[in-house]
Structure formats: C-alpha cells, structure tokens
Amino acid sequence: MASKISIDPITRLEGHGKIEIFLDDAGNVKNAYLQVPELRGFEKFTEGRPVEEMPRIVQSICGVCPGAHHMASVKATDAVYHVDPPPVAKKLRELYYSAHMIHSHIAHFYALGGPDFVLGPDADPAQRNILGVIAKVGVDVGLEVIKHRAYAQQIQALIGGKATHSVCGLPGGMSRAITEDERKDVEAKARSCVEFARFTLKVFDDIVLNNEAYVDLIVNGPYDMKSYYMGMVDADNKVNFYEGDLRVVDPSGVEVVKFKPADYLDYIGEHTEPWSYLKFTFLKRLGWKGFVTGPDSGIYRVAPMARLNASDGMATPLAQAEYERLFNTLGGKPVHATLANHWARLVELLYASERLLELAEDPEVASPNVRTIPTATPTEGVGIVEAPRGTLIHHYQTDDNGLVKKANLIVATGNNYAAMCISIKQAAQEFIKAGQVVKQGMLNRVEMAFRAYDPCLGCATHSLPGQTPLEVTVRNAAGEVVDTLRQNLD
Amino acid sequence: MGKQKWALYWAASCGGCEIAVLDVNEKILDIAAAADIVLWPCAMDFKYDDVRAMADRSIDVCLFNGAIRSSEQEEIARLLRAKSRVMVAFGSCACTGGIPGLANLTTKDEILDRVYIEAQSVVGNGHPVFPQPHTRVAEGDLELPVLYEEVSKLSQVIPVDYYLPGCPPTPDLIMTAVNAIATGQLPPPGAVIAGEKTLCDVCPRVKQEKKITRIYRPHQIIPEPQKCLLEQGLICCGPATREGCGAQCIQANMPCRGCFGPPAGVIDQGAKLVSAVASIYEGDTPESVAAMLEEIVDPAGTFYRYGMADSLLKRKRVGTAGK
Amino acid sequence: MSFEPRIIGILCNWCSYTGADLAGTSRMKYAPNVRIVRVMCSGRVDPTFVLKAFQQGADGVLIGGCHPGDCHYSTGNYKTARRIPLLKKMLDQLGIEDGRVRLEWVSASEGDRFQALANEMTEQVRALGPFRPAAPSKPAAMEVAALAAG
Ligand code: SF4
Ligand code: SF4
Ligand code: SF4
Ligand code: FES
C-alpha cells in the first residue's frame, strides 16, 4: 500500500517547511517533496522605492542574515549609481560582514545544527536544543558561546546602528566612520573570536571526529550527492564572503566557469514548480533537467562545503590549515558529503574571525573617509555576497531618479533548494523501508539532511534556519494519510 | 508562585524578533528562570497539538511577532489568543504591519506576476508556472496555503493587550517587558512598552527650529554629526515616531524610518509626517511647493515604511472606483 | 440608483466658510453634496482629517482657505499649500485619484466662486464614482472556494 508522509509541525502553517513523502505499494519511498509555503513579494513592493533605501528595506527578508541582505543590497546600489566607495568604507563593510558571519555560524553550530551531533541524532527531542547542548558541554562553555555571539552582534551594532537590520550601508560607502577607540575594542573582540573559533573546532573534533559512528554517518551516510558547487572567490581563488567572482566547479572539482556578479543572468536560471512558493536555481548552460544529480544536471550547491569545494583555499593561515585538514580527512576535493557542511562552517568561522582581526588591526579602518557621493545617473546594478547560507544576489534597475523599476532577488536557500529536495528523498529512502515503523530518529535523520544545508526559510519565507519545524505526512498510494509525524514529537 | 508559562510565536516575520530575544544574552537565563516556555518554534522542539489541548487562558503570556497575511496565521493567532491570558504584539510587524506591510502598496496578483513570470532569472518552459493551492503530482496531491490579498497587523485580527514596538525591539525594552510580566507589574491594558513622546523629544541632536530649502536623499550628503538631520534636509521620521529605541539609527548618522510606530495621540503616522515635513520646508511660492514635491520622491514608502497596515487607509485601493 | 457623492468641505472660518455662508444667504443654488466642517484656519487641517474622512465614507474632500497673503493667522494657508499637495502625492501612490481632494482659496466675498466650486467638484467626484475603501481581505478559504468554483 503506498503512502504519503508529511513533516509539518503545525498543520499547514505558513513559513514552515513541509515535507511530503509518498510511499509506493510496497511501503518504500517513491518520492519526497519539500514545500516552501509562503512568499512575501519584496521583488514587487520594492518597486517605486528610492534605491538607496533598499539596503534598509530588503533586510527584513530575513532577520537571521540581515547583514547579508544589507551588504548585497548596498553593493547593488553602488553599481546602480556607478560609484566606487572609498577603500576605508570597503574595509569597514567587510569588517562588519565578518562579524555577521561569526554571529550566524556560531548560532547555527551551537543552537541549530550542532545539537544533532553534540547530543546525537537519537537524542530526546526535548533535549535537542541549545539548552541541551549547554547541559552537555557545560555552562562555562555556554557562556562563552553567548559571549562571542554577543561580540559579533555588538560589532555590527557599533557600525550599523542596530545589530539586526543595520542602517550603515549607502551607495558610495558607509553612513559613519569608527573611532580609534572603537577600532581597538573591535580588535580585542576579534582576537577573542579567533580563539573561540579554534576552540569550537576542537569541540567538533572531540565530539564528532573522534566518534567513528558520526564520521561514518558523514562519509558513508545517505547524505552525499555529486553536484556542481558555486562560491565567491578572490583573485587567488580563495574563499571570500564580501567581494569577488563567482566560481563554479563540476562534480569532479574542476572549474567550469568563473564569472562577474553582473553577469549572473548568463549563468543562473530559476525554475518554478506549482507546489512551492520558492524557485529552484540551476546552471543555465546545463539547463533544468529535473530533480536529478550528477554532471548532466544543472543543479548546483552553495553554502560552506560548496564554498570550500569551489575555492582553492582560505586567505588566512589558521583557516587554511583547517581547510587542508578537512579535505585530507574526508578524502580530498571535492567533498560531496552533505553533512560535512557542519565542519566546513567551522572552518569558515575561523576564517571570518581571522579576517575580522586582520581588518580590525588595520589602523586605516578607523579613518574618517567612508563616503563617496555618487554623481552619475543611476541605472542598473547587481550586488552579490556569500551569505552564511550561500550565494545571495540582489539586482536592481532604476529610473533616472534612482527609483526602483525592477528588483530581482535570488536568496541563498533558493540555490540549494533543488539539492535539498534530492537529499531529503535520499535520506527518506534510506531510513524508511517497507513495513518498518517510522521512528523519531528516522525523522530526525531526514531532517538532518535538510538542516545540514542550514536552509534559511527566513529568506525563502521567514522562519529560522535549521530548526524549521517540519511535519512529515505519510500517504499511501490512494493518497490517504497513514501517518503524520513531527520532528518534534515526544 | 509557580513558574509562568510563556509562548513565543511568529507569523509573517523575518526572524529578527527572535534573534532580538537571543540578544538579551546571558539574561536569557533570567527568562528561563522566570518562565517555562511552552511554545517557541524557532529555538525549541515543540508539539503544536499540545497547545490545542491546553485549557483556555492557561498560557500566561504570548509574545507574538510578525504580521498576518494568511488564514493559517490568523488561525494560530486566534488559537493563541484563546489560550493566553496576556497577548503582546512583539515588534513592528505585529504592532503596525512592519516592512511586509509595504506589500499593501501592491496586489497579490502583481506580486505573483513579478516573481514567477517577469523576474529576469526565471526561465519559462514556454508556459508560466505559478504556485497553486492544489497540485496533482505523479504520486498524489500537494497543497499550498493561499495568501491573503493584504497584510494586517495583529490587532486587526485579535485583541492585543500590550505592544512592544521596534524592528526589532531593543534588548532593554524586551527586558523591561519581561520583568513587568514576571513580577506582575503590568501597565494598563493597551499600553505600548516604550516612551510616550516623539523620538525628536529625546534625540541627542541639536534642533534650531530652522526651515529647510531643499530635501536631500541620504546618499546625497554627509550630514553633520551633531545637528538635527531633518534640519539638514534629510527626511527623518522622528517627529512622528515614538521614542524608545535610543535613537539607534540617528547615532549611526542615518535618519529614522519610524519603526517604533506613531507616538501617543497620533492616529496616522504617515499623515503626521506629511504635516511635519511640509511645515519645515521653506517657501510659499508654487515653485517652491513644486520643488518640494519633486524632492520627496516616495512619500508613501517613506512615511509608512513600517506602518502601511496600521494606516487609516491600510492599503492601496485596487481597481477604479465605480467599475 | 444614481450615485450621490459625499464630499466633506473643510473650510477656514474667516474666508472660505464665510464665502460659503454668503453663497447660502444669497440663495445661490449649489450641490447639497458638500457637507461643511468649519475650522479656524486652513492651517488647522491636519492631513489626518482627510484620511479620516475617506476612511469614514467620504468620496471627496474639499479644503478651503483664505487667498495667499490673506490668512488671518498670517501663514496658516502657506503651510496648507505645502501639506495638501504632499498629501496628494502620497494619496496618488495609494490609488486615490487627484480629483477627490482639492485645495482652493475662497474669500469671504466669493460666494459665487464657492458655488461654482461645489458644483464642479460634485460632478468631478460623481464621475470618479464612489470611493469605497479597500475591501477587507477575504479569508483564504473563500478565495480557495472561489478558485475552485471558477
Ligand atoms: S519587526 Fe522587524 S525584526 Fe521583527 S519580525 Fe518584523 S521585520 Fe523582523
Ligand atoms: S528630526 Fe530626526 S534628527 Fe531631528 S531631532 Fe527629530 S529624530 Fe532627531
Ligand atoms: S531611529 Fe527610528 S527607525 Fe531607527 S530604530 Fe529608532 S525608531 Fe526605529
Ligand atoms: S484663516 Fe483662512 S487660511 Fe488661515
């Protein structure tokens, strides 16, 4: 008897991902769908707004990675106004953005994705949260986590007025410079963040890498998928979050293309399905071939593991060493294991911390020249950054007066959406077998496939990444619901 | 006294309000000491049916963030209202509709057309594909919620006891609210947990009561750090915005966009701002009025940045009257 | 049934209201659609009044003040001369047609001018049709039902 399983915590609730799993007559998984059930329409209601207001407006797409939207947007407005911000402004932006990455990656590892590993996938769901992690690693460590996430937020608030929904970005630069005293304060915090990032990698070693079962799950679990990878790189092909070209490598790790942000439309297309509000991106040169993997499919992946795969290394020394260790441990580049994202995220945490420190140590970052007043007639511009959860694209066209005529947004999670659907199906096929009673641990493993991407449905809709409540509905071939399971069932 | 039961919930929200709760940092432990959080989808695993099974009014406080734009969100809001003794609209989206409320300047169909057909990156397969409430796939049926035509603030859907404004609310105000709730020292129902006056009343910048001869857009000038931004020609929503944020944007050398909503006594934030900005503009000739109109490029999107859903008219009128 | 527009006339005490009064006492016939609210000065016309009028069912709003230079509080009407056009620019973004809001200067002796204005605006708004505030959102269930039916 065929069935459908839905993962949906709160029946039909907007903004929460919903997984529908259909079983065949034998009770095996036939197909799985990850549905994104809401749309807010920023692409439309930003029309008519002055383009310089966009950095303040669009970040309400997502309060978890508002800094990424703020930066992608402000870079797009630079391009619209044909203005090059002064070097200090660029440094200040990258400094701000490094702090943003630190906040997000810490929150993800300790509060969202980490609990799966720290507590184990079969742990009691009631424990599988940040408080459970603190209980396991100790209150002292918990306080360190809180402290360093707070540092990252404070640095963003210092520069941006508010940590969440900052206001500092303007076409041509930044609204305010920082003082020498403020720079020193940031430097001290950055130093501490570097140590904390190293400590976090150690935690990962102790808990995950020293546990053979986990390593096995990462390397041999049903979580690997051969796909293309995309990420932003600097001139040396090192990972960069704020600025650079986009590089795509094929499933064997060979560069297939490197392009300028402004040319994204030549390379990236979006596919729509009637059963989801979120669109699916794909590589145009390969085309949309459906939900299939491999070198002929245009599906590519973004976010930490993809960024590492698409680059030749990290631009800071400690992170570079960790980069090498990761690839050595996991059998060389590229790594297709989806769960390796958690490790890659920590390598990036270290890079962001080191980069933050480098920038904060530079006395020039506290100099006052942070604005170039645009003079050219505004036209059109693209701004791309690597958001914590992957490549984020903002593209605006304006009239001569700088009022938005068209806005196109490709959010990080959209890039991974097709791959996420496939990963979920794979995990479901592995863990749901004919006649087998569906257990909580299985559901969590399906969800782990999803959570490893750290999907920001906040960007896609609005809920928080990682812990997006999910409901699994199992339906038989006749379409009847035979079971409804929630990842958070007791 | 037993521990209180709290619920945190989000509707059409960006998640920033939840991050704001984390931004109280180690005081989160105080919150944990004061209350059991029975529902917090973002940070804790929970079971929704548990809430349904609860007795009415058995949750002491519900902090609700996000606007309402679908039947499901409305349904959850009603359910939580029934289960909660105190309902707090948390953040600008819940209080006044917030940025998502700008969608009320367009229509749902326009949004769908833009996103799924017109968007430059969409590669049509010859025929447009829109999200559908029901889709028949090979294996069975899939459903999607249908969106409402417009965005509402929470109090347009259910009665709200308290308002905690801000996009997002500041950690200080969150702790003020938390302490008031935890100790039972609540203000009169309907109160806004922030100041009463306008942001201008507490703004650190110097005002000279001077008129302006032209409006600048924020990227067009580098304002002096000590002087009132409005008097330097930047549109600042401070004159019709409630105080309480600590002038955060102003400190970053950027004008206020009104996220704390209107101050006490102001019914319509946008209308008040029309009045305030027009009053400070110098010049009595038709030419100067025309210049002002030219310079203020987006009054609705600026004066109602966070308050479109809260405004007297609530949304753009669709269709021509009488037809 | 033919549509009779409801127009709210907000007139300053010293000029426009007196002008309207003159039209009345001189038995000049003008459209009864304009319901008059008297304020001391057009400078007292908060843009909120205009929105409130629409929200409560008005189809048009006519604001009247003293001619430039004649305001009894010296500059009240100059403020109005900036506020109302700015309000109208905002109302345009909200889909409200230009003809529904008018700002006019009418002196105490211009009874005939008031008469002409009232008639003209009534016809103008009649042509535009009823204002009808935006319809309240339909529950999604109904929309789905409608979709299903259609
Ligand atoms: S009020 Fe601001 S921070 Fe809160 S949900 Fe709305 S947009 Fe996000
Ligand atoms: S207008 Fe803005 S800058 Fe000026 S006093 Fe008010 S809040 Fe401060
Ligand atoms: S200055 Fe204005 S927009 Fe900024 S946080 Fe305060 S109230 Fe909100
Ligand atoms: S008194 Fe008539 S407009 Fe001021």
Q: Structural domain boundaries of chain C?
A: 7-149
- Measured by CA distance, the residue closest to atom 5 of ligand 1 is B13
Residue found by looking up tokens 């955060």 in the block: B248
Residues in A closer than 8 angstroms to B129, CB to CB, are 272-274
Q: Do B284 and C93 touch (CB under 8 A)?
A: no
Whole-number percent of chain B with pLDDT over 90: 65
Statement: residue A28 has pLDDT above 90? no
Best residue in A165, A393, A461, A473 to probe B by mutation, most B CBs within 10 Å? A165
Q: Is A348 exposed, middle or buried (0-12, 13-18, 19+ CB in 10 A)?
A: buried
- The whole-angstrom distance between residue A178's C-alpha and the CA centroid of its chain comes to 29
The Cα–Cα gap between B28 and C10 comes to 54
Kind and range of the H or E element at B67?
Answer: none
**Residues recorded for chain C:** 150
Give the mutation target among B93, B154, B257, B260 for probing the ligand 1 site: most ligand atoms within 8 A of CB.
B93
Tell me which amino acid residue A158 is. Answer: L
Provide the pLDDT confidence category of residue A486 given band limits of 50, 70 and 90.
Answer: low
Best residue in A44, A149, A375, A413 to probe B by mutation, most B CBs within 10 Å? A44
Q: Is the CB of B170 under 6 A from ligand 1?
A: no
Statement: residue A362 has pLDDT above 60? yes
Residue found by looking up tokens 């799966």 in the block: A116
For A313-347, the pLDDT digits (tens) are 999 999 999 999 999 999 899 999 888 988 999 99
Domain C7-149, CATH number (from 2.60.120, 3.40.1580, 1.10.3470, 3.40.50):
3.40.50
Per the omega criterion (within 30 degrees of 0), is the bond before A334 cis? yes
pLDDT at C141: 32
Residue pair B255/A168 in contact by the 8 Å Cβ criterion: no
**CA triple A415-A416-A420, angle to 5 deg:** 155
Average pLDDT, chain C: 88
Average pLDDT, chain B: 90
SS3 A52: helix
The Cα–Cα gap between B203 and B199 comes to 6
Provide the pLDDT confidence category of residue A460 given band limits of 50, 70 and 90.
Answer: very low
Which architecture does CATH list for B4-100+150-183? 3-Layer(aba) Sandwich (3.40)
Q: Is the CB of A63 under 6 A from ligand 1?
A: yes
Nearest to C2 by CA among A115, B322, B286, A302: B322
Residues in C closer than 8 angstroms to B277, CB to CB, are 86
Average pLDDT, chain A: 86
Q: Which of C82, C94, C131 sits opposite B292 (nearest CB)?
A: C82
Calculate how close chain A gets to B253, using CA atoms only, in Å.
6
Calculate how close chain B gets to C88, using CA atoms only, in Å.
10
Across the beta sheet with C34-39, the strand order is C34-39, C7-12, C60-65, C101-105
Q: Which of C3, C97, C137 sits opposite B150 (nearest CB)?
A: C137
Nearest CA in chain A to B133: A275
pLDDT at C93: 97
Whole-number percent of chain C with pLDDT over 90: 78
Averaged pLDDT for residues A266-274: 95
Provide the pLDDT confidence category of residue A135 given band limits of 50, 70 and 90.
Answer: confident
Q: Which of B152, B281, B318 sits opposite C95 (nearest CB)?
A: B318
The Cα–Cα gap between C9 and C65 comes to 11
Calculate how close chain C gets to B133, using CA atoms only, in Å.
7
Q: Which residue has the higher pLDDT, A28 or B1?
A: A28
Q: Is the CB of B89 under 6 A from ligand 1?
A: no
Q: Which of B45, B98, B251 sits opposite A488 (nearest CB)?
A: B45
**Reported ipTM exceeds the 0.90 cut:** yes
Whole-number percent of chain C with pLDDT over 70: 87
Statement: residue B293 has pLDDT above 50? yes
The Cα–Cα gap between B40 and B93 comes to 18
Q: Is the CB of B256 under 6 A from ligand 2?
A: yes
Q: How far is the CA of A69 from the centre of ligand 1 (A)?
A: 14
pLDDT at B28: 78
Statement: residue A124 has pLDDT above 70? no
For B177-233, the pLDDT digits (tens) are 988 988 888 899 999 999 999 999 999 999 998 899 999 999 999 999 999 999 999
Residue found by looking up tokens 């593991």 in the block: A305
The pair of three-digit structure tokens given for residue A36, joined into one six-digit string: 């994104």
Residues in B closer than 8 angstroms to A272, CB to CB, are 116, 122, 128-131
Q: Give the sign of the dihedral formed by CA C98, CA B104, CA C59, CA B296.
A: negative
Q: A117-131, A149-163, A351-365, B4-18: which range is least confident on average?
A: A117-131
Q: How far is the CA of B98 from the centre of ligand 1 (A)?
A: 7
Residues in B closer than 8 angstroms to A131, CB to CB, are 32
Q: Is the CB of B167 under 6 A from ligand 1?
A: yes
Provide the pLDDT confidence category of residue A10 given band limits of 50, 70 and 90.
Answer: very low
The Cα–Cα gap between A321 and A241 comes to 19
Domain with CATH 3.40.50.700 in chain B: 4-100+150-183
Tell me which amino acid residue A469 is. Answer: P
The pair of three-digit structure tokens given for residue B224, joined into one six-digit string: 């002096």
The atom of ligand 3 lying closest to the CA of B92 is 8
Calculate how close chain A gets to B239, using CA atoms only, in Å.
19
Give the mutation target among B199, B203, B229 for probing the ligand 3 site: most ligand atoms within 8 A of CB.
B199
The pair of three-digit structure tokens given for residue B47, joined into one six-digit string: 């079971």
For C14-27, the pLDDT digits (tens) are 999 999 999 999 99
Q: Is the pTM of this model over 0.90?
A: yes
The Cα–Cα gap between A23 and B139 comes to 8
Task: Identify the structural domains of chain A with CATH numbers, from first to last.
Answer: 40-430 (1.10.645.10)
User: Helices A341-361 and A180-204, interaxial angle, to 10°?
Assistant: 160
Statement: residue B259 has pLDDT above 80? yes
Q: Which residue has the higher pLDDT, C149 or A225?
A: A225
Interstrand relation of A29-35 and A18-23 (parallel, antiparallel or unpaired): antiparallel
DSSP state of B27: G
Which residues lie closer than 8 Å to B294 by C-beta, 6 or more apart? none
DSSP state of C114: H
Residue pair B312/B104 in contact by the 8 Å Cβ criterion: no
Averaged pLDDT for residues A458-472: 43
Nearest to A438 by CA among A470, A467, A473, A478: A473
Q: How far is the CA of B168 from the centre of ligand 2 (A)?
A: 20
Tell whether A165 is within 8 A of chain B (Cβ): yes
Nearest to B233 by CA among B291, B187, B312: B291
pLDDT at A220: 77
Calculate how close chain A gets to B184, using CA atoms only, in Å.
26
Averaged pLDDT for residues B162-167: 97
The Cα–Cα gap between A63 and A53 comes to 17
Q: How far is the CA of C12 from the centre of ligand 4 (A)?
A: 5
Calculate how close chain A gets to B90, using CA atoms only, in Å.
14
CB-defined site of ligand 4, < 6 Å: C 12, 14-15, 41-43, 65-66, 71-73, 76-77
SS3 A475: strand
Provide the number of CB pairs (under 8 Å) joining chain A to chain B. 294
Q: Is the CB of B250 under 6 A from ligand 3?
A: yes
Residue found by looking up tokens 């006749």 in the block: A478
